[in-house]
Chains A and B, each alone.
Chain A
Amino acid sequence: MSILTSLLLLPLFGALVVGFLPASNAKLVKQVALAFSLLVALVSIVMALSFDRNNSAMQFTEVRTWISAFNINYAVGIDGMALVLILMTTILVPVVFLAGWNESENGRWNVKVFYILLLILETMMIGVFSATDVFLFYVIFEAMLLPVYFLIGGYGSGERAAAAMKFLLYSLFGGLLMLAAVIGLYIISVNQGGATFDIARLSQLSIDSTTQNWLFLGFFIAFAIKAPLWPFHTWLPTAATSATAGTSTLLLGVLDKVGTYGMIRFCMSFFPDATKTFTPAIITLAVISILYGAFLAIGQKDINSLIAFTSISHFGFITLGIFALTSQSLTGAIFYMVNHGFGTAALFLTAGWMIKRRGSSQIADFGGLQRVAPVLAWSFFIAGLSALALPGLSSFVSEFLVLLGAFAKYPVAAILGTLGIILAALYVLLAVQRAIHGETPASSAGISDLNLREKIAIAPVIAILVLLGFYPKPALEVINPTTQTIMTNAGVSDPAAKVVK
């Protein structure tokens, strides 16, 4: 059994253990769940340390027959892109546990169910980035909707049931399209003499361009809903305002990355011709997302929906980076996924603490927070600076790489995207001005600052944002080989500098 499979099974085992604990002892449930999540993080770090940075092939691979009649396998393995996304996931899960220590107590079900759902979700999140069999990927892709559905619908606030339903319907629609495309791919593999769901082998198929276009769209729309890209985004703000801060963190920080991850892993490697065909349209959608998300963020009155719209803008940057397809833009996009995960976590978690303390998520209900809760205010501010990609924080490196890379091939799109940095300054600083600056109204005077547990939860997130901002090498070094593989497969090379020395 490879270390990757152990990593996959560990949270599931944790869920099982939690299942046997007495539901009445909520504290014990939380402690055991946290212990498992920390262990998972530790194992993932051990795995990362033994990852060969110079090898661009899939590592820690394992293949076991699942349904032999259709050559469906339990096949897993990771490259640099999958590794950084898995690390992000395993680090965020304990952070979310710690940050929202009490958020499971007002749910429809008990605390135990909450942690079982989250641990199962963790296995699925790791699995979805590890699967090298399309069928396995599809099953996890669909199955992971269920824990999220229950987490939003069971433990959220406000219109939680409706939000959960909207999320489910959207994803269902995308999932069905992808299912059709998966079947189509399989049929083609059968016709070409080898029934398979193996990603590497499917990438070798020769598919005529019309079929490519249809299959590409099947995958792409599913991923564009997941990511989400304009105009498939409207489920996200609803979900983000209803879910708990921790669920929102995992939903936007990790699950949505499956969308952009899938665009790279499947759309690009299976359908290189269709990718070329659709690139102009997708880049247009990406730029619209960047600007549209930013404008909408400026106009939001609710903190959580503000964060959701900033994410739509940021997913626009990621998609732009992916489809511009240069070394810088693609590596930037993959690195962006990681940074966005941590940045969004910082935003949702700090906003969650603010909302819980104030009893309102309306930005206008805050004000002067820095006087009464300076550590909380500073954490929110730093998270905001990450969202506006301030140099010195990791998000700057990725955003700049995306724009720089995109500029070489799509200057107009890159220029429009660059205008997004002005809007980002506006949406972040307007919120900071309203919530943190100004006089402290009497209604906010009682807001307490972060306690030790909350400080311990947010500290690693901020530390990662700063460290990777100044020294992104450990991440870039792992991502670069993946980028090179994808570019080689697509037969694309970087535009050369115009002036030759």
Chain B
Amino acid sequence: MTISTNLVYFIALPLFSSGLLLLLGRKADKWGHIFATLVSASVFIIGVIEFFAMQSREGEARAATQKLFEWISVGSFQVDAGLLLDQLSICFVLLISGVGTLIHIYSIAYMSHDRDRRRFFAYLNLFIAAMLLLVLGDSYLNLYVGWEGVGLASYLLIGFWNEKPAYAAAAKKAFVANRVGDVGLSLAIMIAFTQFGTVTFAGVKEGASGASAGALTAIGAMLLLAAAGKSAQFPLQSWLGDAMAGPTPVSALIHAATMVTAGVYLITRSNFIFDASPTAQLMVVIVGAITLLFGALIGTAKDDIKKALAASTMSQIGYMILATGLGPIGYAFAIMHLITHGFFKAGLFLGAGSVMHGMNDEVNMRRYGALRKVMPITAATFGLGYLAILGVPPFAGFYSKDKIIETAFDSGGIQGILLGIITLLGAGITAFYMTRVMVLTFTGTKRWDEKARPHESPFLMWAPMAALAVGSVASGFLLNSGSALVNWLQPVVNENQEYHSEHLLPPIVVSIMALTVVAIGVAIAVIKYRTVPVVAPENVLGITKAARKDLYQDSFNEAIFMRPGQKLTAGLVNTDYKVVDGLVRLVGWVVQISASNLRNIQNGYVRSYALIMVLGVIALIAAVWMVTL
């Protein structure tokens, strides 16, 4: 890897723009959104240029690096601010800046009535800068800066309307849950440094083959914890639903297409750790499998369109995480699903935003219905995203999700069959809840609020939706044709291994099975939601009740962590005053009593202190005198 190019613009441009808009304040209100959008677009263009430049090079030479400056240098701990653009990071660069630019454009219209639109765009650019640093950093520590940077941007954007206390709380919840994951990333870096003496990806990769199984498993487990925090995976998933407090374009960009997939990036980037530790891989698979079902189940019961989509995101990332635990071929399929998901889920969220825009910010799908007549473009683009997430051929999800199901079956033994069934089951549930969203929103009867006057969204909003719909249709086919993405990523995720292992089931059989469960899921939803009560019925199955309450994730966290933590804090505050400080006050009281017996009543404390000091110095001199004699 000898190529060195100028990569700093990727981060410097959006960072500068963000800082400028924040510092100028109201002075930039008129043009801030245009400026930020142009910056985002120019980053995308640079990305495209770099992408073509990479294609003109071959194999290892495709990767390019840039050392910016020496960041931290203490003893043997040497970390440069260095960037690495390789086959894996370019995928993310294009996704982040491409989808990011579309969402900038959409937000110009979506946020046009908000008094703080400029600040919103400043945060969006801050996010772009941090996310690009996350995927371009050449070491775990550089990644960490981006990692927490996107956490900050996410915090600011979830809490963008933090005048509402619930939204402010949601922002804090997201940051704290992410910090739990960050403990994992910190510890992974520390273990890596004690093991390998370096924290660069290249250095750790080089050393990984010589490390003990225990060390590799520990690093893998900690990286998984980090991934779970950022990607809302079990058991750190609870923040994502609340994060929907952010404006909908944010939900589309950060909490669907890009930031929440950073965990998948982290594991894929660390493939040399996971490939060398079957135990860590197993943990990854388990977390992915649990989350994909967990999210899907929650998705079946949510009436809030954004929360239904958020649950779906959690579930779909579960698929990706699961895939990353399945060895070299899994990484490529995880990234493929990540990209196709980036298109269709961003499209779905923008569609939801468009519906909300036309419905006075109503999010309850029970108050929607029959919107396809008044919002035909939104219905069409949303519908294409819907077909993509279902995995109907030839839409994007068909290629990426079926590959994961196949790979799950192929992973061997009982585990393979179990994972295959789980991923199939997930596909069926996905079909059910997405059909439910579709039916409740766009078909059936009007259940609108009296004041609702739904209308199609303006061009600036539907154009990005249309662009993403094109991606939802075509991206899977393009990435899969001639194994384009698999071959492209091969130098990063796997150097020598053979991809095309024996299949447990022929791909066509897997596809037929998947389509069958999807058809069943669709059919159940269509039949079940022929009529939709405006108020959610109470006499439902226990599982529905549980899913409505997010499978009790918050109750669990509150019972296990929050309330004991509050009790501990209250107890410590009390103890600190009564016991620790109490002892001190007791000593002080004793001193005061005895001192007042010894000295004149007029003596101030200061005077007696000065006296003691003088006595002290005299004592010192006396002692010294005696000794020297």
Contacts and interface: CB of A to CB of B under 8 A. Distances in A.
A397 B72 contact: yes
B584 A234 contact: yes
A425 interface: yes
Contacts of B454: none
Given A190-B627, A498-B211, A501-B207, A430 B172 contact: yes
Contacts of A446: none
Contact of A391 (B148, B616, B624, B625): B148
B69 interface: yes
B588 to A, nearest CB: 6
B183 A419 contact: yes
Given A169-B591, A391-B149, A295 B568 contact: yes
A299 B195 contact: no
Interface stretch (A179-187, A259-267, A336-344): A179-187
Contact of B576 (A190, A296, A471): A296
Contacts of A326: 75
B176 A438 contact: no
Contacts of B616: 142, 175-176, 179
18 contacts: A70-B624, A145-B609, A170-B584, A176-B612, A187-B627, A195-B624, A234-B580, A292-B572, A391-B145, A391-B147, A401-B72, A408-B193, A421-B186, A429-B171, A437-B163, A497-B193, A497-B198, A500-B210
B303 to A, nearest CB: 27
Contacts of B72: 397, 401, 472, 476
B152 A476 contact: no
B463 to A, nearest CB: 33
B190 A498 contact: no
Query: Considering residues B149, B168, B617, B621, which has the most beta carbons from chain A within 10 angstroms of its beta carbon?
Result: B168
A49 interface: no
A385 B175 contact: no
B584 A495 contact: no
Given A295-B569, A328-B75, A437-B162, A400 B186 contact: yes
B172 to A, nearest CB: 4
Interface string B45-89: 000000000000000000000000111111111000100000000
Interface string A401-412: 101100110000
A296 B176 CA distance: 17
Contacts of B559: none
A94 to B, nearest CB: 23
Given A408-B193, A497-B76, 20 more contacts: A69-B625, A69-B628, A70-B624, A186-B620, A191-B627, A292-B576, A296-B572, A299-B570, A326-B75, A327-B75, A370-B162, A392-B145, A408-B190, A422-B179, A433-B169, A439-B163, A480-B73, A494-B76, A498-B196, A499-B197
A401 B197 CA distance: 14
Interface in B164-208: 165, 168-169, 171-172, 175-176, 179-180, 182-183, 186-187, 189-191, 193-198, 206-207
A219 interface: no
A358 interface: no
What 3 pairs across the A-B complex have the smallest Cβ distances? A327-B75, A497-B197, A437-B168
A404 B189 contact: yes
Contact of B613 (A142, A473, A480): A142
Given A234-B581, A414-B190, A295 B77 contact: no
A231 interface: yes
Nearest to A375: B25
A299 B163 contact: no
A403 B193 CA distance: 12
B215 to A, nearest CB: 7
A368 B580 contact: no
Nearest to A70: B624
A61 interface: no
A404 B183 contact: no
Interface string A321-343: 00000111001100000000000
Nearest to B212: A498
Interface size class of A (residues with CB under 8 A): 35 or more
A146 B148 CA distance: 43
B190 A371 contact: no
A303 to B, nearest CB: 15
A234 to B, nearest CB: 4
Interface-central residue, A139, A182, A231, A371, by most chain B CB under 10 Å: A231
Contacts of B149: 391-392
A53 interface: no
A433 B168 contact: yes
B228 to A, nearest CB: 14
Given A183-B623, A295-B568, A401 B74 contact: yes
Interface string B122-162: 00000000000000000001001101110010010001001
Contacts of A139: 617
A400 B175 CA distance: 19
A188 to B, nearest CB: 10
Contacts of B623: 183, 186-187
Contacts of A327: 74-77
Contacts of A426: 176
Interface of B: 25, 69-77, 81, 141, 144-145, 147-149, 152, 155, 159, 162-163, 165, 168-169, 171-172, 175-176, 179-180, 182-183, 186-187, 189-191, 193-198, 206-207, 210-212, 215, 568-570, 572-573, 576, 580-581, 584, 588, 591, 605-606, 609-610, 612-613, 616-617, 619-621, 623-625, 627-628
Nearest to B77: A328
Contacts of B584: 166, 170, 234-235
A174 B592 CA distance: 17
Interface string A172-214: 1001100100110011001100010000000000000000000
Interface string A460-501: 000000000011110011001001000000000011111111
B189 A438 contact: no
A176 B609 CA distance: 11
Contact of B182 (A371, A421, A470): A421
Nearest to B186: A418
Contacts of B610: 146
B210 A499 contact: yes
Contact of B163 (A179, A368, A432, A476): A368
Given A295-B568, A438-B162, A421 B145 contact: no
B576 A433 contact: no
A288 to B, nearest CB: 11
A146 B606 contact: yes
A23 interface: no
Nearest to A329: B74
A426 B193 CA distance: 28
B122 to A, nearest CB: 12
Contacts of A494: 75-76
Contacts of A142: 613, 616
A450 to B, nearest CB: 13
Given A401-B72, A430-B172, A390 B621 contact: no
B164 to A, nearest CB: 8
Nearest to B163: A439
A222 interface: no
Given A404-B77, A438-B163, A190 B628 contact: yes
Nearest to B577: A234
Given A165-B605, A328-B77, A403 B190 contact: yes
A188 B75 CA distance: 35
B193 to A, nearest CB: 6
Interface in A5-40: none
Interface in A291-317: 292, 295-296, 298-300
A46 interface: no
A117 interface: no
A155 interface: no
A501 B197 CA distance: 10
Given A300-B573, A498-B195, A328 B165 contact: no
A407 B190 contact: yes
A168 interface: yes
Contacts of B77: 327-328, 401, 404
